[in-house]
Structure formats: C-alpha cells, structure tokens
Amino acid sequence: MDFKNKIKISPSILSADYAALREDIEKVNKAGADMLHVDVMDGHFVPNISIGPPVVKSIRKATDMFLDCHLMISDPIDYIDSFAKSGADLISFHVESNSPVSETIEKIKAAGVLPALVVKPGTPAEAVFPYLKDIAMVLVMTVEPGFGGQSFMENMLPKIKTIREEANRVNPSLMIQVDGGIVPETAKLCVAAGADVLVSGSYIFGAADIERAVESLR
Ligand code: DX5
Ligand code: ZN
C-alpha cells in the first residue's frame, strides 16, 4: 500500500456500467483515482443485490488498481477467502454483521489482505474502538447502505471526528473512509472532520469530465 495522495479517491463501481466495466475502470484510473471501491450486496444485509467474487476476479485481471471491497453481506467471515483469492487488496465488513469481529479481522489478515470495519449511520463511533489498533481503515457510512445516489447525512460528521481522535491515540496511520453522497461540498466537510479516503459513485461516473470530477473531490 503506497498511495501518492494524502486524500485518496475511491470511485464506487456501483454507478459504473457493469457491461462496460473495463472502460469505466480505465477512465477513473486515468483520472488519477487511488483505489476502486467494489460494493458487494447480498439482498439480506441490505435490500439490494450487486456483484460477488467472480466479478472481482475479472476486475483483478483487467487492472492493477488497489481493490477496496466493501462487503454489505450478513456473514462476511464465510466469504473472506473467496474475495482474497479473487484479488481484493482491502476488505471492509460491517460491525453490524453476524460475523465475530476479531475473528473476521484475523481471517482477513491471514489471507494477506488489509482489514477494515464499517459502521452504518445508526451505529456509534465507540462500536469500532476496541478494534482500531488491528485494522487499516474505518468506513463511516454517510448514507444507509444499499443504494447509490442518496443524500449525504451531515450528522455523521461528529462520528468521523470522534473516530479520528481515538485513532490518533491508538493507531495514527488508520485511514478513515466515507461513503455515500460524496460531492465536492460534502467531501470538504468530511476531510475537515478527519476523513482521508473518499468514496464516490454517482458523482464521478455521472460526470461528463471524470478527470475533473476526481480532482474536484480532492
Ligand atoms: C452504498 C454504497 C456506496 C454507493 C455510493 O451502499 O456503499 O458505495 O455506491 O454512491 P454515491 O456516491 O452515489 O452516494
Ligand atoms: Zn460502498
């Protein structure tokens, strides 16, 4: 993991054209994006279904971009090896899932992948405190997970700040990612609160000029 930018941009392919994924990935790579955010949904943990390991495997063959896989699934521990083998560089899973948190983190590490934890809007910052020293990143959801194109929840900003402060104490290199409703205005608020990885789907893939969209978030 060697990112050139302090503020990292992770375009969410949920808003890409899945039938033209290679081209869409090339576009965001050329635009200088730092990672690729892959949203995995099982229709149980969230009321939507997206993609799984076979698609991650194909993406891995198509690009050398850093693959940031966000698992919105009920039992992430059962799928860690599969996503790792498919080529994920980082796996984030929800603290609200059915899987035992520490065991799942250990399984991700053992597979040679970076572990991250995700909190839904209704989950307090403190839920991830016991694990901060063992993970590479916390993802603070700034919308209810499940769909792209929703409005940013401004009341998540204090949560970002609280996690940043605790991380500065126990794990200063921890990255904080935000996901949902990220556009230049909300990106600015998140960075001011302590976020350093910005996921953006509809804003980036809906832009006429993708390069300018990526830059405007930074
Ligand atoms: C929502 C997903 C997001 C989504 C973000 O459950 O986790 O990654 O694609 O989309 P935008 O940027 O459109 O809010
Ligand atoms: Zn996501």
Q: Per residue in 29-58, pLDDT tens?
A: 999 999 999 999 999 999 999 999 999 999
Please give the Cα distance from 172 to 205 (Å, whole number): 32
Q: Which two tokens stand for residue 182?
A: 């990220």
pLDDT of residue 5: 84
List all residues whose CB is within 6 A of at least one atom of ligand 1: 12, 14-15, 37, 39, 70, 143, 145-150, 179-182, 199-203
- Give kind and range of the element (H or E) at residue 187: helix 184-193
Please report the atom of ligand 1 found closest to the CA of residue 149.
13
As a whole number, mean pLDDT of residues 118-146 equals 98
Please give the Cα distance from 132 to 117 (Å, whole number): 9
pLDDT of residue 97: 98
Please give the Cα distance from 25 to 56 (Å, whole number): 12
11 within 8 A of 148, measured Cβ to Cβ: no
179 is catalytic: yes
CA geometry: angle at 88 spanning 86 and 94, to 5°? 115
pLDDT of residue 185: 98
pLDDT of residue 3: 87
DSSP 8-state class, residue 147: -
Please give the Cα distance from 49 to 5 (Å, whole number): 32
39 is catalytic: yes
**What's the first-to-final CA gap in the chain, in angstroms?**
19
68 alpha carbon – ligand 1 mean position (Å): 13
Please check whether the domain covering 8-217 is classified as CATH 3.20.20.70. Answer: yes
State the Cα torsion 67-38-187-47 to the nearest 10°: -160
pLDDT of residue 130: 98
- Say yes or no to pLDDT of 101 above 90: yes
Q: What is the pLDDT of residues 153-206, one digit of tens each?
A: 999 999 999 999 999 999 999 999 999 999 999 999 999 999 999 999 999 999
In the set 24, 34, 39, 68, the catalytic residue is 39
Look at residue 169 and give its three-state secondary structure: helix
